Every structure is written in structure tokens, then in C-alpha cells.
Amino acid sequence: MVLGVLGSGSGSNMQAILDAIDAGALDARIAIALSDNPDAFILERARKRGIETGIIDCRGFRTKFPEEAQQETAARLLAAGVEMVCLAGFLRLVKRPLLDAFPSRILNIHPALLPAFPGLESWKQALDAGVSETGATVHLVDEGMDTGPVILQERVPVLPGDTAESLHARIQVAEHRLYPAAIQKLAAT
């Protein structure tokens, strides 16, 4: 399975995918990593592994993912031979035409047990809600925010005394196990 990764930050989930590939737990390769943030560490991680990188030009918009930028992103991914797109901390809402270019082949990792706590900083939402557990979800991307069909989930307890940082760190450990497993599961279908 040839993967393309879109990310806006450090790329720890991309690193988990690379580690699973290296360990033989995931039969895939990452062909390209793209970011809307030219300073994102995900690009440095990719360069160190010899993976093609690129910047997504969102035309100066802070959160919007303009249609032209999505068309360019789809073209770049397709030119790299990508079969499945993995969003790894990509902070923009994917819509058409990118969804049309990869139907049922765009995955996202979300730090909550969807449908609970969609959107940003879901670990803080979980703490504020006083729930006893939260977790991580890998889901297919559709036109909504964190609304696509769930592929895999893993539960993470909310412990007494948890801070947003401590809870988020434990959720990330679960994410790093879950994402490669979800990719493998979807690739087998």
C-alpha cells in the first residue's frame, strides 16, 4: 500500500507508521508527506527518511483548505502513486475534490472515542466533561468534521489528577499503536 501523509505539526503519527513499516507490522510505504505549515517537523522527519515532501499552499488562509489547494494536493498525491491518504495532525477540513480523488481511502486519527468530542483539543473536552475514559479513533474521512465511518478505536482511561498534557500523552501512545493497525486493516479490504 502506497501512502501519502498530510500533517501540520510534529509528525509523531507518521513516525509511528514508519516504525510499524520498519518492524514488518505494516505492509506499506510512504511515498510523500505534505504540510500546510512550512516549519512543521513532519517535513524534517520525512526528509530524513528520503521521503518526498512538499508544502500545501492554502492561499494565506489560516484554517480554510481552498478548493484550488485541494486540487493541487490531490494531483501531487496521485503523481506520487499514492493509494491511501493518512491525515496525521492535519488541521484543515478535507472536502471535495480531494475526497473524490481518494474515495474511502482517506484516514484520520482523532484523539477521542468518536462520536464523542469531535474537533480540536478533544482531550481537553474530555477532561472538561468529567468522563472516566476517552481514547483514540481512526476513521475514514467524509465531508463532516470527524464524522466518517470508524475503522478502529482504543480506550484510554482518564485518571484522577490528569492534566490536559498527561491525558494527551497517553492518548498519543494509543494513537501510535492504532494508526498502523487501522491502515493494515483497511489495506486488506
The number of distinct structural domains making up the chain is: 1
Please state, rounded to an integer, the average pLDDT across all residues of the chain.
Answer: 96
Query: Is 188 a residue whose pLDDT tops 90?
Result: no
Q: What is the pLDDT of residues 30-66, one digit of tens each?
A: 999 999 999 999 999 999 999 999 999 999 999 999 9
**Domain annotation covers residue 35:** yes
- Taking residues 82-89, what's their average pLDDT? 97
Residue 55 lies in a domain: yes
The answer to whether position 128 is within a domain reads no
Mind listing the pLDDT tens digit for each residue in 74-84?
Answer: 999 999 999 99
Examine the residue annotation and report whether 110 is marked as an active-site residue of this protein. Answer: yes
Please write the tens of the pLDDT for every residue from 117-131.
999 999 999 999 999
**What span, in angstroms and rounded, lies between the C-alpha atoms of 44 and 51?**
10
46, 30 in Cβ contact below 8 A?
Answer: yes
Tell me, what CATH number does 177's domain have? Answer: 3.40.50.170
Residue 111 lies in a domain: yes
C-alpha cell at 81: 502513486
* Residue 59 counted as domain residue: yes
pLDDT on residue 154: 98
Percent of the chain with pLDDT over 90: 96
Total residue length of the chain: 189
Whether 167 is in a domain gets the answer no
Query: Which residues span the domain enclosing 43?
Result: 2-121+134-155+172-187
Q: Domain for residue 129, yes or no?
A: no
Asked whether residue 166 is domain-assigned, the answer is no
Lowest mean pLDDT among 121-125, 178-182, 185-189: 185-189
Catalytic residue among 110, 139, 168, 176: 110
Position 92 scores a pLDDT of 94
The predicted pLDDT at position 32 comes to 98
